[in-house]
């Protein structure tokens, strides 16, 4: 069986409600497995909308979203939630963590919802906690004192690294990072990206990195400007 693409989008259209104008029309977008791709878009360019469609949180008005060979928009609502928790890890811009959970609980959170990722995380014979510690160690976050601190007391950089460990646990095939570096200073940004790339390479994950920051573009194998592939007749 030939290896399917990580992401394949065909004739994707989206409008929030019938009667409202289309906000997204993408004829084709293909991302290969293991690829690191940079999607540039100013705020309001439909970035979040695209991510919600890829994640199966919203359904396209037309066209198909295929992730790992699965046509996500044809799945049931529960099926999409399940598919997302099994195969996609998310890192957001800010405040990624659940404030009342410990660092450890935050990292292992996806395994509460996805048996597949729990199995993958413990496949090496490690306990879930040991796997979380391994990921945190890779991200320079293995300090015992840090781990036991309430997550709201961590610095933004530390929080983003915890969020990264959470996205990576159980090795999901796709990592979607939505402006994860915008709250970091430029030095931290480099360190963070370096760690992120390293981890994605190790797990073989496809990285979809969304940002408006052109300075980071050159670090990626491929970059796409959202307003170039978004072929709306009228720009909204």
CB 111 within 8 A of CB 86: no
Dihedral sign of CA atoms 61, 65, 71, 73 in order: negative
Q: Which residues contact 131 (CB under 8 A, 6 or more apart)?
A: 121, 122, 124, 169
Minimum CB distance to other proteins smaller for 42 or for 222: 42
Minimum CB distance to other proteins smaller for 93 or for 190: 93
Closest CA relative to residue 183, chosen from 172, 174, 173, 192: 192
Least Å from the CB of residue 85 to other proteins:
2
Q: How far apart are the first and last CA of the chain?
A: 41
Least Å from the CB of residue 8 to other proteins:
21
Closest CA relative to residue 173, chosen from 49, 83, 60, 56: 83
Minimum CB distance to other proteins smaller for 28 or for 113: 113
Neighbour order of strands in the sheet with 62-67: 24-31, 7-14, 62-67, 70-71
Least Å from the CB of residue 58 to other proteins:
6
Least Å from the CB of residue 134 to other proteins:
19
Minimum CB distance to other proteins smaller for 100 or for 231: 100
Least Å from the CB of residue 106 to other proteins:
9
Displacement of CA 155 from its chain's centroid (Å): 21
Tell me if residue 232 falls in helix, strand or coil: coil
By the criterion CB under 8 A, which residues form the site for other proteins? 48, 51-52, 55, 57-58, 77-78, 81-82, 84-86, 90, 92-93, 95-101, 105, 109-110, 112-114, 166
Least Å from the CB of residue 207 to other proteins:
16
Minimum CB distance to other proteins smaller for 48 or for 190: 48
| The dihedral formed by the CA atoms of 113, 203, 154 and 109, expressed in degrees to the nearest 10 | 10
Minimum CB distance to other proteins smaller for 40 or for 166: 166
Least Å from the CB of residue 51 to other proteins:
7
CB 91 within 8 A of CB 178: yes
Minimum CB distance to other proteins smaller for 61 or for 190: 61
């Amino acid at each position: 069986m030939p290896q399917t693409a990580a992401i394949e989008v065909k004739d994707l259209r989206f409008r929030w409600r019938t009667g409202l104008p289309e906000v997204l029309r993408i004829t084709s977008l293909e991302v290969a497995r293991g690829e690191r791709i940079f999607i540039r878009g100013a705020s309001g360019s439909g970035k979040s909308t695209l991510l919600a469609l890829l994640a199966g949180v919203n359904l396209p008005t037309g066209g198909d979203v295929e992730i790992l060979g699965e046509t996500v928009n044809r799945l049931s609502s529960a099926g999409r939630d399940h598919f997302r928790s099994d195969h996609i890890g998310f890192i957001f811009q800010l405040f990624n963590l659940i404030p009342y959970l410990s660092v450890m609980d935050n990292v292992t959170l996806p395994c509460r919802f996805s048996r597949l990722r729990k199995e993958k995380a413990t496949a090496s014979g490690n306990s879930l906690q040991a796997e979380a510690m391994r990921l945190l160690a890779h991200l320079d976050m293995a300090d015992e004192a840090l781990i036991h601190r309430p997550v709201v007391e961590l610095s933004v950089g530390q929080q983003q690294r915890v969020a990264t460990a959470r996205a990576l646990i159980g090795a999901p095939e796709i990592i979607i990072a939505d402006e994860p570096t915008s709250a970091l200073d430029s030095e931290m940004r480099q360190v963070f990206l370096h760690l992120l790339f390293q981890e994605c390479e190790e797990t073989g994950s496809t990285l979809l990195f969304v940002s408006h920051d052109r300075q980071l573009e050159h670090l990626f194998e491929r970059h796409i400007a959202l307003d170039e592939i978004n072929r709306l007749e009228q720009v909204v």
